[in-house]
Amino acid sequence: MKSRAAAADPAELPALKVLLRARAEGRMPHAVLLTGPDPETLERAALRLASVHLACEDPVAHPDCAVLRPTKKSRRISMEAVQDVVASLRLTAAGPSRAVIVNEPDRFQAEAANAFLKSLEEPPPGTLIVLQTANYYRVLPTVLSRCLRFHIAGEAPQENDPAWGDWLRDFDRLLAKAASSGPVRLTETFIPAYALCARFESLLEKLTEDALERFPVPPGDDDPEEAADAHEESLRRAVRARLLSAVEERLRVFGRARPDCAVQTAASVVMLEGARVRLELNYQVLAALEQFMLQMLRTFARRHLATSGPVRG
């Protein structure tokens, strides 16, 4: 697996080498979908392809380059934005080549995706459409069928904040207590679980603010306020995904270390995925985490009841 350092220069990515060689040989596909675990690497790769195609250093500033990305706090690619891009493709280009960069095509509104399909399937001559997303499994089949997909290897970014490390260690302790063989008081599990939920929400906001400092709003033609809201929400979702992935990994590690709790940890992973789905539907973070924690603790509590037998009066 390529390290993040190895992927610092997009031109060194194997998938891009293949694509650039195909372009040099006149075999470049007109629609390319880049997928992989690291959104930053994907965005750099998409920009590099557009840069080579347009023969310019800054493709976003080029008059023949259009960019689609999620907007507003809903973080959807809207019908209005798609109509603007489709209309621009009908105009005479300034040069021989055009490029369209679609960031996070998994965030298309259904009607917006349908409006873009014709351009995706038969763009004007000289047009390259580059789509990139870390959520390949959420891209609509109608969009997938009109692209050639290239996977960009790499490692998903990790959160290294010390406070997050403390949270994970406290989560490990909660798991150990929930799985202990003896009787467990509510104060030893449910109260710490609620505390973890509150800390998770606070950490999410802190880490999102840190990410905003490192990655300011990218340039574009969007309304500045809407662009700022969409960018902040995009970073928040990316941070949240990394945090939940770390929680899932902790559950899996615990399950491997405690084969007697394999059923409970496997069920907890499924419950965590349910929380992910609810959060994608704009469920409140605190409510989704509390529901997951309570479901997890109840699953372990049922294990105690099954192993201790019926309670006699």
Q: Which residues pair with 195 in a beta bridge?
A: none
> What confidence tens digit (pLDDT) does each residue in 98-133 have?
999 999 999 998 999 999 999 999 999 999 999 999
pTM: 0.68
33 token code pair:
């979908």
- Return the C-alpha torsion angle 145, 46, 136, 224, nearest 10: -110
Q: How many CA atoms lie within 13 A of 288 on its CB side?
A: 19
Q: 165: which residues sit within 8 A by CB, 6+ positions away?
A: none
If pLDDT is split at 50, 70 and 90, which confidence band does 310 have?
very low
Enumerate domains of the chain plus CATH numbers: 10-151 (3.40.50.300), 162-308 (no CATH)
> What confidence tens digit (pLDDT) does each residue in 52-80 have?
999 999 999 999 999 998 887 677 899 99
